[in-house]
Amino acid sequence: MIRGKFFVVAALLLAAHAGYSQEAQKIGYADWNYMFNALPEYSKIDTDLKAHGELLQQQVQAKTQELEQKVKAFQALPATTPDAIVADKQRELQQLDQGLRQFNEDAQRSYEARRKELMDPVFSKVGKAIEDVAKEHGYAFILNPRLLGGGDILLATDKKFDISDLVLRKLGVTPTLRAIPNK
């Protein structure tokens, strides 16, 4: 029992010593949102995505209006309308409703595919620049302070570890949205 405790304590001491003997690792962060907004191609991508989304939304609205008009027409049928005609109109409404639901799903997939098509090359380009800057400046880790959809990953940061402007310079973009670090 004592021998087992000795080995555990010895192993912990060795692990602690190995951790202290290693070189301190530099950790930095890069703000994707800030960098993307500074890239000239991002405004074109944003405009393209908005136009694509608006076109899809117009189609959804047109299909929704068509369905609403048919529902009103169905509701306005006189009580004496034969059951066969009522059943036919109900099937037509169900098909239109199903078609609208399917179009909504297809529109969402279309938008996501377009976003991926446009953004993947930018993600790759910025990612490569981040890797290059990290290597050039001796960073072991680079974090993103915010998730792209919102929410913080880092709760506290020191601006001297922000490499966003270095990455923008690497990409040939002059940072103008905020102060340039002295690195």
Reported confidence tier of residue 46, pLDDT bands at 50, 70, 90: very high
Predicted TM-score of the model (pTM): 0.66
Reported confidence tier of residue 153, pLDDT bands at 50, 70, 90: low
CB contact set of 177 (below 8 Å; sequence gap of 6+): 34, 37, 38
Q: What would the DSSP string read from start to end of 92-107?
A: HHHHHHHHHHHHHHHH
How far apart (Å, rounded) are the C-alpha atoms in residues 163 and 180? 10
How far apart (Å, rounded) are the C-alpha atoms in residues 102 and 138? 51
Which among 30, 40, 46, 6 is positioned nearest to 146, based on CA atoms? 30
pLDDT mean across residues, the chain: 81
Reported confidence tier of residue 175, pLDDT bands at 50, 70, 90: confident
Amino acid at position 133, single letter: V
How far apart (Å, rounded) are the C-alpha atoms in residues 139 and 180? 19
Q: How many CA atoms lie within 13 A of 12 on its CB side?
A: 6
Which among 24, 23, 27 is positioned nearest to 160, based on CA atoms? 27
Q: In percent, how much of the chain has pLDDT > 90? A: 46
Mean pLDDT across the stretch 113-121?
94
The pLDDT, as a whole number, for residue 36 is 87
CB contact set of 58 (below 8 Å; sequence gap of 6+): none
Mean pLDDT across the stretch 3-29?
54
Q: How many CA atoms lie within 13 A of 169 on its CB side?
A: 9
CB contact set of 168 (below 8 Å; sequence gap of 6+): 35, 38, 39, 174, 175
Residue 78, token pair as written in the block: 């006189």
Vertex 136: Cα angle to 133 and 141 (nearest 5): 60
Mean pLDDT across the stretch 4-20?
45
Task: Delineate the domains of the chain, giving CATH numbers in brackets.
Answer: 2-170 (3.30.910.20)
* Residue range 50-63, pLDDT digits in tens: 999 999 999 999 99
